[in-house]
Amino acid sequence: MRLGKKELTIMSCITAVIVLTTVILLFALHPWKDGKENASQEADSATSVTSASTVASSTEAALSSESTESRAEYVPTSQQDSEVTTVSSEETTIESTSETTIETTTESTTASTTESTTVETTVESTTEEPETQATTASTTQAPERSSGDYDLSGMVIVIDPGHQQHANSDTEPVAPWSDERKAKVSSGTQGVATGRPEYEVVLEIGLMLRDYLESMGATVIMTRTSNDVDISNIERANIAVENNADVFLRLHCDAADGSSARGIGVFVCNRGELADSQEKWGNWLGNCLEESTGSHFRGCNASSTYSGLNWSTSIPSFLLEMGFMTNSDDDRLLSDPEYQHKICEGIAAFCYKMKSR
Ligand SMILES: [Zn+2]
């Protein structure tokens, strides 16, 4: 009985020691592993999370190779950093502005995206003006909206709000090179939804555009500032030519037989010293407007049909159809001050492009 008790005590002691050792070993091994994983997670988030769970139950060797991997991953991040710094400031601004816009949209979708966005934004913000970024992030609009601060100083822009209250059906030559004659000026089309006449809408936008471009330093000359005038298309062209305009912009609204046609159209002259460039510039104008308004640009057409353009071939001249008054959606938008402002923004972006060409 005594010997049995002793044996039992020794046995239980040995068992206790074995159990204790096992527990200590298990305890000592696992937290140490976790510590390693945490350290590598800090170095690089997304990839190490996946690889950490894979290696969790593996040996020391696997762990050390993982930490090497994460160190290797960390190097490109700092290389990327220095790459951003070496890009010219103009490119950096464009790239990061568009990047930020995309990232802001995806920010709310997943937590991991938000994390990487924060990291990237911090890296980028060191290489450019924080002003642009802050504005871009706070709005959902295109980048142009935030940079509505074009320096248009030194530019002469002549705006011709098309038509007038009373048409003048007397005729004048359609072009300096033609015997054909056309009515001096018509009264234009009318909105199917608003009932407003074209001459009224284009003057409204024209006056808003004048103020907007002047606020950016441009010298703006209007061919008319009221509806009850009598100025022929040749006379309007002459105002632009005499002032040697950098941009002569004729504002119109379009009309079609059906009600489905929508969008923006640009018309230029296919003759004269600037004929080779006019179509390219016309496409710039349409693209700027498409971007600022979200409307569809139908394209730039070069022809000799518009007397106002045919008599101003010595300067960059454009007839802009801002939308269709025969389409009820376009018609309503053309009278909407917010949309009118978007048109002004697109034209300002175009003028700046013309200044820097
Ligand atoms: Zn018109």
pLDDT digits (tens, 9 = 90+) for 164-195: 999 999 999 999 999 999 999 998 999 999 99
CA distances from 17 to 28, 240, 357 (A): 16, 102, 86
The confidence score (pLDDT) of residue 16 equals 63
Q: How remote is the CA of residue 232 from the centroid of ligand 1, in Å?
A: 13
Evaluate if residue 356 carries a pLDDT over 60. Answer: yes
The confidence score (pLDDT) of residue 10 equals 60
Question: In what helix (H) or strand (E) does residue 302 lie, and over which residues does it extend?
Answer: strand 297-303
Reported confidence tier of residue 94, pLDDT bands at 50, 70, 90: very low
Choice among 69-73, 183-187, 201-205 with the minimum mean pLDDT: 69-73
Closest CA relative to residue 281, chosen from 257, 249, 306, 239: 249
Mean pLDDT of 312-318: 98
Evaluate if residue 310 carries a pLDDT over 80. Answer: yes
Mean pLDDT of 203-226: 98
Q: What is the DSSP letter of 192?
A: T
Rounded Cα gap, residues 147 and 156, in angstroms: 21
Q: How remote is the CA of residue 127 from the centroid of ligand 1, in Å?
A: 47
Q: How remote is the CA of residue 349 from the centroid of ligand 1, in Å?
A: 23
Distance from the Cα of residue 117 to its chain's centroid: 19
Q: How remote is the CA of residue 264 from the centroid of ligand 1, in Å?
A: 13
Q: How remote is the CA of residue 269 from the centroid of ligand 1, in Å?
A: 16
Q: How remote is the CA of residue 325 from the centroid of ligand 1, in Å?
A: 10
The confidence score (pLDDT) of residue 149 equals 84
Q: How remote is the CA of residue 322 from the centroid of ligand 1, in Å?
A: 10
Q: 173, exposed or middle or buried, with CB in 10 Å at 0-12, 13-18, 19+?
A: middle
Q: How remote is the CA of residue 308 from the centroid of ligand 1, in Å?
A: 12
- The residue ranking higher by pLDDT, 156 or 121, is 156
Q: How remote is the CA of residue 19 from the centroid of ligand 1, in Å?
A: 95
Q: 147, exposed or middle or buried, with CB in 10 Å at 0-12, 13-18, 19+?
A: middle
Reported confidence tier of residue 1, pLDDT bands at 50, 70, 90: very low
SS3 category, 222: strand
Choice among 130-139, 265-274, 288-297, 337-346 with the minimum mean pLDDT: 130-139
SS3 category, 58: coil
For the chain, the residue count is 357
Rounded Cα gap, residues 240 and 245, in angstroms: 5
Domains of the chain: 2-76 (no CATH), 87-140 (no CATH), 150-355 (3.40.630.40)
The confidence score (pLDDT) of residue 287 equals 98
Q: How remote is the CA of residue 217 from the centroid of ligand 1, in Å?
A: 28
Mean pLDDT of 266-293: 97
Choice among 7-11, 200-204, 348-352 with the minimum mean pLDDT: 7-11
Q: How remote is the CA of residue 185 from the centroid of ligand 1, in Å?
A: 10
Mean pLDDT of 205-209: 98
> What does the pLDDT look like over 124-159, one tens digit per residue?
333 333 333 333 333 334 444 444 689 999 999 999
Q: How remote is the CA of residue 162 from the centroid of ligand 1, in Å?
A: 6
Evaluate if residue 116 carries a pLDDT over 90. Answer: no
Evaluate if residue 161 carries a pLDDT over 80. Answer: yes
Q: How remote is the CA of residue 278 from the centroid of ligand 1, in Å?
A: 20
Distance from first CA to last CA of the chain, Å, rounded? 109
